[in-house]
Structure 1
């Protein structure tokens, strides 16, 4: 599932722009993203389109900041469906497929971001007594 989840150029740009704050901001993304995910899932269970709009919009924007385009696209789909349902006063049943893909994509995306942002995880030993080399 990890191929294509992260736009490496956008991630590199975020890393460069955020500098020493990158890991801290990534932590905020993890926390805020989970809150948005839980709110979207709850709104889906309750068939509440209004409650879906803001967390989907937030998750979309924060995901794009880190190059998590697949996650952002799913969140955007949920947001658009929810907004349409608010206007038409319909239940957001059409969003179910997107919501079902959201959690596994969120988890896979975070795993990749964690892997890519941890300098220790990016090194492997090159044998006893030898200096670790970057992968």
Structure 2
């Protein structure tokens, strides 16, 4: 698991927000619901030591997280998926994933807190150029300079 991967890529998040338009908050809600279900399924599969059952929820979480720019979460889910696939092929237990599986839910919670904070329509946004207030130039018309 790479803790060096950024938690949220804000340019990807903004791109998705722009593409989804008015459906953005609804789709973000679906991501939250699906994420909770996927994480629970990963945890249940890990408790059962079922590499087969780890693959689908990890794959789902990987793709949905990447769509919203949640790169660390996506990276963790990808690691779970890839190791689980290898474990299935090699007929091994996925025990080596314990640290990633344990860290998955806190990462999801931290990520959702950031996404919710930025998605809140009542939060003032960082100025992007349009509508940004600038200093009015000092009028010089009619003055000797």
Which structure's residues are more often helix, by fraction?
A: 1
> Conserved in 2, the CA contact under 8 Å of 1:6 and 1:109?
yes
TM-score by length of 1: 0.87
**Alignment partner, residue 130 of structure 1:** none
Q: C-alpha offsets along residues 46-104 of structure 1, whole Å, 9 cap, x if unaligned? A: 10000000000000000000000000000000001100001011110011111011010
Task: Establish whether residue 5 from structure 1 lines up as the match of residue 7 from structure 2.
Answer: yes
Across the aligned residues of Structure 1 and Structure 2, the Cα RMSD in angstroms comes to 1.5
How far is the alpha carbon of 1:116 from its aligned partner?
0.5
SS at match of 1:120: coil
Aligned residues: 122
Between the aligned partners of 1:55 and 1:40, the Cα distance in structure 2 is 6
1:68 corresponds to: 70
Whole-angstrom distance in 1 between the partners of 2:91 and 2:27: 36
Q: Is the 8 A contact 1:115 1:122 kept in 2?
A: no
In the other structure, the counterpart of 1:128 is none
Q: What CA distance in whole angstroms lies between the structure 2 residues aligned with 1:89 and 1:61?
A: 26
1:4, distance to aligned residue in structure 2 (A) = 2.8
| Structure 1: runs of 5+ lacking an equivalent | 124-135
The residue number in structure 1 matching 2:57 is 55
Aligned to 2:18: 16
TM-score in terms of structure 2 length: 0.81
- CA–CA distance in 2 between the matches of 1:102 and 1:122? 30
Q: Distance in 2 between the 1:97 and 1:36 partners? A: 17
Q: Could you list the runs of 4 or more consecutive aligned residues of structure 1 that deviate by over 4 angstroms after TM superposition? A: none
d(CA) in 2 for partners of 1:48 and 1:15?
A: 36
Runs of at least 5 residues in structure 2 that lack an aligned partner in the other structure: 126-145
